[in-house]
Amino acid sequence: MTQPSILYGLFLLIVVTLYWVMPNRSDKLWIISISSLLFYGSLQAQYVPLMLVLVGLNFTLGKAIGAPLDWRIPNEAWQYEQADWTRRRTRLLVLGITLNVLLLLGFKYLAPTVSLFSLEAAVWLMPWGLSFFTFECIAYLVDVYRGSPACDRLLEFAAYKLFFPKLLSGPITRFHSFTGQLKTLSLPPLSQNVEGLWLIASGAVKKLLIADRIGLLVNLSAGSLPRAGSGDIWLLAFAYGLQLYLDFSGYVDVARGSALLLGINLPQNFNFPYFSTSIAAFWRRWHITLGDWLRNYLYFPLGGSRNGLARTCINLMLIMLIAGVWHGDRWGFIVWGAIHGLALIVHRLNISLSERVKPLAVFWASVPGIVVAWAITMLTVFFSWIFFRLPNLSDAGLAMSHLFGHSADIQFAQKVYYESSGLSRPQIVLMLVGLVGMIGFTYAIQRGLKLQISWPIKVFLLPICFFLAWVLAPAEAAPYIYFDF
């Protein structure tokens, strides 16, 4: 059962109906927990026990970390007991983070190696959603350590951790913002239900109608690298950037829409990132919850930008290298992280220089400066996608060697462009540019004119979107790209 599909739609309808029929909050928590286990079991039943163990382990550690100091301690022993209490909480936090990180790294790096030598072990490859699951657990433990109240009900914590709309690929959601909404649940108004269905419909169109179609082109291009010319490599990077954005943002739309039907508002994860005019702005608008997690739980604890420019640059590079490691066990992801780390460093140095050189600051604030900044940012982002899509350095190296001044094999166009879409390369480029233009038009309407589609119009468009996604989708829907991470 995958999102979106007819089976998922029936599953969601049953869950939403049972959820709102149940009279009290505890019953709703049971519905969330059980339905989430059924949902995950339909995909990877062998990992359901692991998820339950992780829920219980992190719940127990959270309660232990959040246990208060006994106020009945005599005054003369207070200072000693407080120091011991702090050390105990710190050890528990380190233990919790270590266990979560080791489990994640074990599945990301050890399991693929073992599977090469054992067919029986191949079934124990990376559990879907484990990265996002462990990131939420670490965030919860750190928040409790910093003073947020620990969850005192295992059922409530299980409902948060297993919540099926966000279980597989986020968005990364913090415990207290999630459960705070559960305490004030009420039957959503018609407009909220329409918004939830609209998000699901738009996510289905992004994923099935557009991203999967672009994916056919990307996969054929990546599989024919030796025959590709320079223009083909750049088109591959451009197409993959669009595919990844529409695939992942489509998933998040379906997740947020499903949650809205259950009265839960999950955080936004994308905000038109390809219209960013700096790499820092890109990371505030791309995979927003991951960027927030990296900033709050790694960048700030490392010192952030408080210890001088040199240390700030080191921290930026370190964080992006960690982001690369998180995405996978191949060197291409490290290179991708290093490119973004270097870009963030250059951006920070440019800010520092612009504060001292006023004409430079004036240029970046002008229209030509904004256009140049956007062009540099997008060139960096789309160039880095080559290493993200081709994480084996041998493949990425081949793509780099064909990046400039290389002619394509005469059979490349026939095999890739005509087999994937029946169009020539100029026609495909025109279609992709038109797609970017449509996204830009939507961005201008929403951000510039502050206009939104009213819910009655969305009601009219809903069946059209669902019908197009159903009829025009490829014969076999591809898994979401971020399920691999």
The tokens for 224 are: 């024919």
Q: Is the peptide bond before 4 cis (omega within 30 degrees of 0)?
A: yes
CA distance 179 to 154: 12
Name the catalytic one among 176, 287, 327, 340. Answer: 327
Give Dmax (Cα) for the chain.
86
267 within 8 A of 289, measured Cβ to Cβ: yes
> Got the DSSP string for 221-278?
HHTTGGG--HHHHHHHHHHHHHHHHHHHHHHHHHHHHHHHHTT--PPP--S-GGG-SS
Three-state SS at 306: coil
| 327 flagged as catalytic | yes
Tell whether omega for the bond before 359 is within 30 degrees of 0, i.e. cis: no
Query: Residue 301, SS3?
Result: coil
Measured CA to CA, the distance from residue 296 to residue 304 in angstroms comes to 9
CB-based contact 213:474 (threshold 8 Å): yes
Q: What is the C-alpha separation between 66 and 147, in angstroms, rounded?
A: 8
Structure tokens at 161: 């951790």
Which residues participate in catalysis according to the annotation? 327
